[in-house]
Structure 1
Amino acid sequence: MADLRTYIADVKTRPGTPIEELPPIAPYVVYTYPCDGAVPCDDPFQPFYLEPPEPTCEPDCPVAGDGPSPDFDRNREELESYPLDALRMMGTLEKGEQFWAILRGPDSIIHRVQVGNYIGQNHGKITDITEDRVALLEIVPDGRGGWEERDAQLALAE
C-alpha cells in the first residue's frame, strides 16, 4: 500500500502539460433556396406525387366499361383474401361426377373448393378441376381503366 501512496505523490508533483487550443469553429452558413417565377417553390412538408401518365391510345382503343368486369356486388369468399401464389393444391375429392379440389391457405387451413368458387385476389373464378390442377379465369385491370380476362392455374403440390 505504501507503493501506491508513493506513486500517487510522485504523479501529483509532476508538472502538468498545457492543453492544446481548440480549432476555431466555422460559422454556419445558411443557404437560401431561390424561389422565383423560374423555379417553383414546393412545400417540403407536402408529399411528392407523380401524376400518372395519360394513356395514349389509338382511336380504336377500348373504352373503360367495355369487356369483362368483376362483380363487386357479390359476397367475397374466404380464399379471395389470399394471393394465388400463397395457395397450394393438396389433392382432389370425387363423388360421382362432382370434383372438389383441396387447397391449403398460407395459414395452413385446408379448404374444399369446386367449379364456380372464387379464389385469389384477382377475382379468379374456378372453371375446371382435374386430378392435378385447378384452372381459373381471373379478371385483372388492363392498365387503361378497363378489365381483361387472364387464365391461371394451381398445380398439385409435389
Structure 2
Amino acid sequence: MKPIRLILPLLGSLLLAACGDGGVREVESWMKQTEKDTRPSVKPLPAVKPFVPYAYQPGGAAEPFNPDKLLGEMARSAATSNNPNRPDESRPRELLENYPLDTMRMVGTMEKSGASYALVQIDKAVYQVKRGQRIGQNHGVVTRVSDAAIHIREVMQDATGDWVERTATIELHEGKENGK
C-alpha cells in the first residue's frame, strides 16, 4: 500500500499541470496584437501594354517561308566558300563526264605501257579508262583500276550547298554472251 501512496500525489500533480495553458494564451495574445499592428502593402500591377499584331503585306516581297529562297541563299554561300572539295568549274570537261555512272558498265581490263586500263561500255561504244581520268557527272576522278572494279572519288553538293566527297565503284560486268 505504500507504493500507491507515493504514486497518487505524483499523479495528482501531473493532472493539475496538464490543466494549465502552458503559456499558449500569451503567444495567442502576441499574435493578435502583431496582426493588428501590421499593415500589408501590395504594389499595384503595372499597366498592360496593348498588343499590336503585325500585318503582313506580301505585295512584291518574297515569301518568308519559300524553300527556294533558302536554297538560293545556300548556293550563294557555297559559291563564296573556301571548301577544299570544291571542283574547278572552269576546266574543260572530258568526254566521259557527260554520262552518269549508272549508264556505264565495266567489261574488262588491259595493260598498256605499264599502266592499267579499264574498259567501260556506254551504249554500244567501249572506252579506255585509267587512274586520274575524269568520269561521271558528279566531278568524279578514277582513283584506282583493279581487275574487279573501277574506284571513283566524286565531289557533290549536299543539301546545305557544301561540297562533300563520296566514293563510288563500277564493278566488272560478267554477262553471258548470247548465241554461244
Distance of 2:165 and 2:118 partners within structure 1? 22
Read off the aligned partner of 1:71 and give its amino acid letter.
Answer: D
Cα distance in 1 for residues equivalent to 2:126 and 2:113 = 22
Q: 1:142 aligns with which of 158, 163, 171?
A: 158
What amino acid sits opposite 2:149 in the alignment? R
Deviations along 1:34-55, whole A, 9 cap, x unmatched? Answer: xxx99x89xxxxxxxx533638
Unaligned runs of 5+ in 1: 1-36, 42-49, 56-62
Structure 1 segments, 4+ long, off by >4 Å, are none
* Higher Cα radius of gyration: 2
Cα RMSD after superposing both structures: 2.6
Which amino acid is 2:90 matched to? D
Distance in 2, Cα, partners of 1:148 & 1:80: 18
SS in 2 for 1:85: helix
Instruction: Indicate yes or no: 2:104 matched with 1:87.
Output: yes
The one-letter amino acid paired with 2:99 is Y
Q: How much identity, in percent, do the aligned residues show?
A: 36
Residue aligning to 2:129: 113
| Cα distance in structure 2, aligned partners of 1:110 and 1:126 | 17
1:71 — aligned with what?
88
Paired position in structure 1 for 2:19: none
Deviation, 1:145, is: 1.9
Partner amino acid for 2:167? D
Count, aligned residues: 107
Structure 2 SS opposite 1:52: helix
Scaled by the length of structure 1, the TM-score of the pair is: 0.59
After TM superposition, the score normalised by the length of structure 2 is: 0.52
Q: Distance in 2 between matches of 1:52 and 1:98?
A: 47
Structure 1 residue 83: Cα displacement: 0.7
Q: CA deviation at 1:108?
A: 1.3
Question: Which segments of 5 or more consecutive residues in structure 2 lack a partner in the other structure?
Answer: 1-54, 60-65, 72-79, 175-180
Aligned counterpart, 2:121: 104
Query: What displacement does 1:75 show?
Result: 1.5
- Using CA pairs under 8 Å that are at least 6 residues apart, name the structure with larger relative contact order, 1 or 2: 1
